[in-house]
Amino acid sequence: GQSLEQPSEVTAVEGAIVQINCTYQTSGFYGLSWYQQHDGGAPTFLSYNALDGLEETGRFSSFLSRSDSYGYLLLQELQMKDSASYFCAVRVNTNAGKSTFGDGTTLTVKP
C-alpha cells in the first residue's frame, strides 16, 4: 500500500519560518510534489523534487531525502495569504504520472 504522513495542523506568526514535513512509504518513487490549496480553491503546484537536496523558489523551498523517505516544505517570511492547506504527493509510477497524496497540513498564519 501507499502511505504519506504529514502533520494535520501547523500554526505560525507572520514573518516567521515554518517547515511542513512529509514521510512516505510507497511501492514506487519517482518524485515528491507539494501543492497549496486555499479554502474553496483548487490545489496549485508549488514544487517538485526528484533528486535529493533543496529546491528553492522564492520564499518557498522543498527538500528531499530519498534514503530517509522524507521531504519537507519550508516557507519563509510568512504572510497571512500563506494560510492554506499544503499537500505532499509522491509520484508512484512513470506511466501517466500517477501520484498519491497525503492528507494535507492546514497552516494558519497569525498576525
Partner 1 sequence: DVKVTQSSRYLVKRTGEKVFLECVQDMDHENMFWYRQDPGLGLRLIYFSYDVKMKEKGDIPEGYSVSREKKERFSLILESASTNQTSMYLCASSPSDGRKAFFGQGTRLTVV
- Residue ranges that bind partner 1, judged by CB under 8 A: 2, 8, 30-31, 33, 35, 41-45, 48, 50, 87, 89, 91, 94-104
Beta-sheet strands, E only, within 1-111 = 3-5, 9-13, 18-25, 31-37, 44-49, 53-57, 60-65, 70-75, 84-91, 99-101, 105-110
d(Cα 55, Cα 62) in Å, to the nearest integer?
A: 5
- If the CB atoms of residues 2 and 25 are measured against partner 1, the closer one turns out to be 2
Q: Report the nearest approach of partner 1 to the CB of residue 77 (Å).
A: 24
* 85 vs 109, beta carbon nearer partner 1: 85
Which of residues 73 and 91 has its CB atom nearest to partner 1 in the complex? 91
